[in-house]
Amino acid sequence: MRALLQRVTQACVTVDGDIIGQIDAGLVIFICAMPDDTESTASALAAKIAKLRLFKDDAGKMNLNLKQTGGAALVISQFTLAADTARGTRPGFSYAAKPDQANALYEHFIGCLKGEDLPVQTGRFGADMSVALTNDGPVTIWIDTDKP
């Protein structure tokens, strides 16, 4: 799986003009399932993200995880994280999981984050969404489960 994390002071996702997910301070997690991913891949990624120390402590060091700060996660499915731009000028998306598999893994990932006792808001799988956020730091982290 691939995830792009952004530490935010606030974020929301809108579909057809309606806000469907909104958080204050926390993480926006753009997530993409790949064809070889499984529920165990999604579970491990959720556990890792829940434990990542991306938030400042009293000394100003990134020593706190999302739960320690009382923040929330806004999880948005984004198949374009699998874009292949090696040839030409039009990205290909054959590295992304098929929609049925991707949606199942997206939902499993969300469930795993909730299982970590994190407040979670979401986008809508497959929808045309507008995402507004204020990146804090800026802190943006890329995680690819196929890479060390």
Residues marked active site are found at 80
Nearest to 136 by CA among 5, 8, 2, 36: 8
H-helix segments, the chain: 39-51, 66-69, 99-115
In this structure, is the dihedral angle defined by the CA atoms of residues 129, 130, 132 and 138, taken in order, positive or negative? positive
Strand pairing of 72-77 and 120-122? parallel
Strand pairing of 18-23 and 55-56? unpaired
